[in-house]
Chain A
Amino acid sequence: MKYTYDDEADARTTAMIRVMALFFVGIMIIAATTSPVATGTKEGERAPALEGKYYNGSGWFDFDLESYWDPLWVEGDITGQWVALEFMDTDCPYCVQSAEDISVDSNDFGSSDSGWDGAIVNFIASVAELNIEGHDSSRSEITAFRNKIADSGESCANIDCGSRPGGAHNFPYIDDLDLENMQKWKVSGTPSYYLIQPNGIIAWSSAENQGEELRDAILTLVPRESA
Chain B
Amino acid sequence: MSTSTISLDQLIAWLSRFRDLVTEKQSYLTELDSAIGDADHGANMVRGMNAVVEKIGAEPATAADALLKSVGMTLVTSVGGASGPLYGTLFLRMGVNAGPVTELDAAALGAALRAGLEGVVARGKAEAGDKTMFDAIAPALDAWDVAVADGADVAAAASVALTAADKGRLATEPLVARKGRASYLGERSAGHIDPGATSSTLLFQALVDTVSS
A binds B: no
* B residues at A contact (CB < 8 Å): none
* A residues at B contact (CB < 8 Å): none
